[in-house]
A = this chain, B = another copy of it.
Amino acid sequence: MAGPLPVSPLAQPMPEVPPIAGVTLGVIEAGIRYKGRADLTMLEFAPGTTVAGVFTRNKCPGAPVDWCRAALKGGKARALVVNAGNANVFTGKAGREATAATAEAAAKLVGCKPREVFLASTGVIGETLPHERLTAALPALHAALAPDRWADAARGIMTTDTFPKAAVRTATIGDATVTIAGIAKGSGMIAPDMATMLSFLATDAKIPAAALQEMLSKGSARSFNCITVDSDTSTSDSVILFATGQAKHPRVPAEGGAILRDFARALDELLLDLALQVVRDGEGAQKLIRIDVTGAASAKSAHRIAMAIANSPLVKTAIAGEDANWGRIVMAVGKSGEQADRDKLGIAVGGTWMAREGGVVPGYDEAPVVAHMKGREVEITVDIGLGRGKARVWTCDLTHGYIDINGSYRS
């Protein structure tokens, strides 16, 4: 496309991210695809850092995802290398060689095993990653790593993003305070070209890998797995959490447990903050949409219904047009295939119930609905009227901007 995209109207300012003990970061121009901007990002972690990860469910994942899944079995991490501009997906043997060569080069610099190096690549699919450019840039990148470069890292991993995404939270473990920092990229949820969702988090807490993984999996299910822009699923999506163990706090047992309650709360908040920043940067997004489903047969059923609404092009275009078209929501509930009874459905927009028990609410006040639809944040509640299952998901509207961005991406 000609020139950079305008910044999303839903963008948020990037918070100040403090140094995390045991983490140094840096970025460099490796010239992989972009010119005049950093496109290679590295994080180094103190010895003893544990790691957890959640990856795409796409059946055709990129070589870096395969690499990370294997590396995760060791539960230890010393480095993360991320390049922007080339996804190293659908690149066959050359792609596997690129991941191995990059990890080996980073491992040599850090003084660790290649399997303690984690990798992520986003960008164009099917082009061989020129990994010799990565390995050539790594020594200078490594030599300049510093603890205070989170903002640079947040920018370095961007592709079609229109604003950098970061978040930070503190939590107590026993009577000690620990910090969790995170960055994310993503703006199509989740396109295979240059718009994959990646998120990397680090904490100074000392948490065994198994407990870390359990918290990350649960937190991701309630955050990154509850957002959608266009129903497409990247071949590269990755969320990786590193715990450097530099903070002093009571020992956390392997199975985690009650001592991690506040940490899990802070992690959940952080993950949701980053996930919503990704939706706020959804391609062409003009409105952030929150969908609550209540009264479904189960929580799983509620989630499926909510995602069917969130992924419906007809619902999303109606909201772009500021039209509280609840007929399209009825349609989306029905197409989800989940248990629903037309005659028990209720639908509210911005807190105003427009439909109840299978029919329009006679004489409901349209004024607050119209005003709500004109805002940047739209809230939809759908009550299925059958059980106690509930779910909450987020999406954005479907606009001309989405077509512009995706109809001419490579040209």
Binding site for B on A (CB under 8 A): 57-61, 87, 89-92, 94, 124-127, 188, 191-193, 230-235, 311-314, 317-318, 320-321, 323, 325-328, 330-340, 342-343, 345, 355, 357-360, 398-400, 402-403, 406-411
Contact = CB atoms under 8 A, between A and B. Distances in A.
Nearest to A406: B317
Contact of A233 (B318, B327, B334, B411): B334
Nearest to A317: B406
A91 B342 CA distance: 9
The 6 A-B pairs of least Cβ separation, nearest first, read A125-B327, A60-B334, A321-B407, A58-B334, A317-B406, A192-B331
A92 B408 contact: no
Contact of A235 (B89, B90, B193, B330): B330
21 contacts: A59-B335, A59-B339, A59-B340, A59-B342, A60-B342, A61-B342, A90-B330, A90-B342, A90-B355, A192-B314, A193-B327, A193-B328, A231-B312, A232-B331, A313-B402, A313-B406, A314-B406, A317-B403, A318-B406, A323-B407, A400-B400
A332 B411 contact: no
A90 B399 contact: no
Contacts of A326: 126
A398 B409 contact: no
Q: How many copies does the complex hold?
A: 2
B331 A58 contact: yes
A327 B126 contact: yes
Contact of A230 (B314, B337, B338): B314
Contact of A335 (B233, B314, B358): B233
B188 A233 contact: no
Given A314-B406, A358-B90, A331 B125 contact: yes
Given A328-B191, A355-B90, A359-B91, A59 B411 contact: no
B334 A59 contact: yes
Contacts of A312: 231-232
Contacts of A406: 313-314, 317-318, 321
Contacts of A400: 400, 403
A55 to B, nearest CB: 12
Contact of A126 (B125, B355, B357, B410): B355
Contacts of A359: 90-92, 94, 126
A353 B168 CA distance: 47
Contacts of A127: 360
A345 B357 CA distance: 48
A340 B90 CA distance: 13
A327 B89 contact: yes
Contacts of A339: 59
Contacts of A327: 87, 89-90, 124-126, 192-193
Nearest to A407: B321
A153 to B, nearest CB: 26
Between A125, A317, A331, A334, the greatest number of chain B beta carbons within 10 A of the residue's beta carbon is seen for: A331
A282 to B, nearest CB: 12
Contacts of A231: 231, 311-313
Nearest to A125: B327
Nearest to A332: B232
A325 B225 CA distance: 26
A410 B325 contact: yes
A403 B321 CA distance: 9
